[in-house]
Amino acid sequence: MDRIRIRGGRRLSGSVPISGAKNAVLALMPAALLGGPLTLTNVPDLADTATMAALLAQHGVVVDRDRTAGRVSLSGAAASLEAPYDIVRKMRASVLVLGPLLARYGQARVSLPGGCAIGTRPVDLHLKGLEAMGATIDLEGGYIEARAPAGGLRGARILFPSVSVGATENLLLAAVLARGESELVNAAREPEIEDLALCLMRMGARIEGIGTGRLHVQGVDSLAAATHRVLADRIEAGTYACAAAITGGELLLEGARLEHLGAVARVLREAGVGLAEEHKGLRVTRLNGLHGVDVQTETFPGFATDMQAQFMALMSIADGASMITETIFENRFMHVPELMRMGARINYHGASAIVRGVPKLSGAPVMATDLRASVSLILAGLAAEGETIVNRVYHLDRGYERVEAKLAAVGADIERIPG
């Protein structure tokens, strides 16, 4: 099993190209089940991207991947309507084939999803929304058995009791081919959902309210071929912003957009990090020291839960104390004991953690427990004295493209040690 070795204490400087957004491309690729062919550019070469490609290929979609160019072309009708456990268990986003299969083919059999072990993430909102569109849903043997009514899914008004990114994506994918008009109320507003809606419109979908919490969809009979460029990954951008700040460095994040960071930008600025938009991206510098800031994770435009672990690593060397409250997922503080091994002072109970900044961290062997925890330990290693070994980095490969190469190119002493 691969490991990553870091010798900390180096100031990062230079430019980092921000890859296409993982959380966008995993919703965009299933759109190929609705019509097409669909060509996506700026696609990151990640383990999760490969898993989604394998799942779509299993359905009968022809997947042509050019990893060097960052291009994926998807074409062909589905030959299989089943998404098997062996693939779906690897990645929660696999459930996003449910809406397209049901909308276009009238039925689907999809395994209940897996992914990072960061708490329960039920799909009940996905299923209730599809039932509102007329689908019959049964749960049997760990599978979702879904069938559309005669004549296909019907448009419906769906009010989400709580904001759900995955449910918004799945139901948007279903609604574009449903008969009549659908309205998604209290829909998630993440940039990745806006990106999905723009791609669907390029394919011929009729969607209004993009970027708001209320999406109006007029169903169409079919979708056509399209080419779409995946937006830059805001979580990767936020991660490298923390890398610049934690090392006292300066980085240009090529392709990053300030507006996509939401509250992350405000919190970083309050902590003493400079953010300036430029023609090529976002320039990040540490100003006059880091300061403790309280944060609470929320849906966009609030502070992203996927930035919580990285920000905690940053706060571990800030002046003063910060309280970090996790409201999206339970069990998402598994990185805390590993940061404490490196000298961080953190007390946590339930959904809140108090981080009291220390003058320095010390290198240590640590173990990654999930995707964002993995990169938080790398950030801590960049700032620590001595050597840090991050074990179980297969989590990292699910969401960060060539992270060690990108960091090494801007001055980090980092390398991957093959297992």
Size of the chain in residues: 419
CA separation, residue 213 to residues 12, 19, 172, 268, 306 (Å): 38, 27, 12, 26, 20
Binding-site members are 22-23, 92, 121-125, 306, 328
Strands 82-83, 107-111: pairing is: parallel
Sheet holding 13-17, edge to edge: 13-17, 250-254, 281-286, 273-278
Within 133-187, where are the H helices? 165-175
Within 31-181, where are the H helices? 47-59, 85-88, 98-105, 124-132, 165-175
Binding-site members for phosphoenolpyruvate are 22-23
Half-sphere exposure of 68 (CA within 13 A, CB side): 0
Residue 199: active-site member:
no
| Candidate list 6, 16, 91, 116, residue with the active-site label | 116
Backbone angles phi, psi at 338, to 5 degrees: -70, -40
Answer whether 78's CB lies under 8 Å from 60's CB: yes
Binding-site members for UDP-N-acetyl-alpha-D-glucosamine are 92, 121-125, 306, 328
Answer whether 314's CB lies under 8 Å from 245's CB: yes
Residues 301, 200, 115, 20, CA torsion sign = negative
Question: What residues are annotated to the active site?
Answer: 116
